Structure 1
Amino acid sequence: MLMRETPVVIAGPVGQIEALLLENKSLDNEQPRGIALICHPNPVQGGTMLNKVVSTLQRTARDAGLITLRFNYRGVGASEGSHDMGTGEVDDAQAAAKWLREKHPDLPMTLFGFSFGGFVAASLGGRLEAQGVQLKHLFMVAPAVMRLGEQDQLPQHGELTVIQPETDEVIDPQLVYDWSEKLQRPHELLKVAECGHFFHGKLTDLKDLILPRLSN
């Protein structure tokens, strides 16, 4: 399969957004199964679209036959603007999602978010659903659930999978467990034993958890 990502520039709410697109065109003309948008961790703490967990999520989606798009929030890399650390990054994700959906309007969308990106993807999912877009799946990996406020409504339809390392040193696992327990909508909580926030030595385990759930 032709698996090289292509740099693209997307018009964002405060300027250009730097992104990497993988069209996932196979040699046997097999059609892509969907589109995936991947949201990266906290930019203030060095998070970018090239983060190794984000890269693992991208490759996993690729291997499941999805077109992928990962991008840098405002103020990261070549993306214009400055950090907002809240709704601004969700606005950026919404612009990226709109761009991707306009290219492939008939394909179902899956969202991925790691750490701060888990908050971004969840909030974006709610926005998209309010606009009539039904997601196929939302994956929240070691998500910063403490950032979700009343204005951040999760999508109520489609599948939701939360993946939380049990020895996370950045996001308190108990916060995620408590949030999961209170969550009204159906979802799946997967705990990864002996695993820290950045999945050191556990990236293969992460892929093994996600890939079969994308292949359904």
Structure 2
Amino acid sequence: MSFASKIEAVDDLRGPAGRLEAILNTGKEDAPYAALVTHPHPLGGGTMHNKVVYQAMKAFSHFGLPVLRFNFRGTGLSEGSHDQGIGEQDDVLQALQWLDMRFGRRILFAGFSFGSNVGMRVCCTDQRVPAMVALGLPIEAEGRRYHYDFLSACSKPRLFLSGDHDPYGPVAEVEQVVAQLPEPKRLVWIGGGDHFFAGTAGSPGSKLDQMRETMISWLAESVQGLTV
């Protein structure tokens, strides 16, 4: 990344279930936006330290933006207990409010897997969020079925970025979801990538760098005021 951010522990982010463990990668003082990144399903081991979440942070940090990551309720040191994606929406809202209070800037959003579904439900209607990125959009995982009817009225720029060997978001099903959504939108497949953007037997090697660079390119093209 072109900007060397520093990491700050966040001690004052609280949701309805209690304190939320969080970290902030600092940005430039004149950064045009702040950013929020949410993690995959806690019951599958997802945390704010997930590799995909980290690479999404790096994509935002490339532009010198301050980036907040946090653990959903009941994850890591966050208080409360898992709430099947319902209470977690309140956690996202509190994170947006924290960023708004701290920086007073519009906020870009990226979520991975469970974090993309939960986060977009909040960010789609929040006027502080002008653009969203969904990484590894889940359709069905570990018996959980995800729905996206709420996106039918969302006209913000959206990037859907997945591996084409993602068992939780098969190509045909993700394409069907995205095809029904209004513009502006873009769906990009990372060849040989699985749900975590790792390699497959037919295409070994991590795809995380490709994921990050694709996200950077889309942000530069789609979000006013960001330049590579």
Q: CA deviation at 1:174?
A: 2.2
Among residues 172, 186, 189, which one is paired with 1:188 in the alignment? 186
In structure 1, the residue matched to 2:22 is: 19
Mapped partners of 1:78, 1:178: distance in 2: 38
For 1:122, the equivalent position in structure 2 comes to: 120
After TM superposition, list the pairs within 5 Å mapping 1:87-126 onto structure 2: 87-105=86-104, 107-126=105-124
Provide the residue aligned with 1:5 in structure 2: 7
Aligned-pair RMSD on alpha carbons? Answer: 1.8
Distance (Å, rounded) in 1 between the aligned partners of 2:53 and 2:162: 15
- Give, in angstroms, the shift of residue 153 of structure 1: 4.7
Is the CA contact 2:56–2:110 (under 8 Å) kept in the aligned structure 1?
yes
* Partner residue, 2:132: 138
- Aligned pair partner of 2:159 in 158, 161, 166: 161
Change (3 A) 1:37 1:155: farther
Counterpart position of 1:47: 46
- Unmatched tracts of structure 2, length 5 or more: 140-144, 199-205, 222-228
What secondary structure sits across from 1:180 in the alignment?
helix
Secondary structure of 1:174's counterpart equals helix
Deviations 1:111-148 (A, max 9, x none): 001111110121011241xxxx1422100011125523
Quick one: percent identity of the two aligned structures? Answer: 30
User: Structure 2 CA distance, aligned partners of 1:155 and 1:178?
Assistant: 16
> What is the SS of the residue equivalent to 2:20?
strand
CA shift digits 1:179-216 (9 cap, x unpaired)? 01111343111111111111111011001101122234
Alignment-mate amino acid for residue 207 of structure 1: R
Write the distance in 1 (CA, Å) between the matches of 2:178 and 2:192.
20
Aligned pairs, number: 206
CA distance in 2, matches of 1:34, 1:141: 20
CA distance in 2, matches of 1:57, 1:99: 19
Give the residue type in structure 1 aligned to 2:62. D
d(CA) in 2 for partners of 1:179, 1:110? 22
Give the corresponding residue for 2:207. Answer: 202
Q: Deviations over 1:11-44 (max 9, x none)?
A: 111100010112213xxxx611211100100001
Change (3 A) 1:64 1:155: farther
Q: Distance in 1 between matches of 2:170 and 2:220?
A: 30
Cα distance between partner residues in 2 of 1:206 and 1:182: 24
2:224 maps to which residue? none
Work out whether residues 34 and 106 of structure 2, in 8 Å CA contact, stay in contact via their aligned partners in 1. yes
Say whether the 8 Å CA contact 1:38–1:54 is kept in structure 2. Answer: yes
Task: Label 1:67 to 1:126 Cα distance change in 2 as closer, same or farther (>3 A).
Answer: same
Distance 2:168 2:146 in 1: 13
Q: Residue 172 of structure 2 corresponds to which residue in structure 1?
A: 174
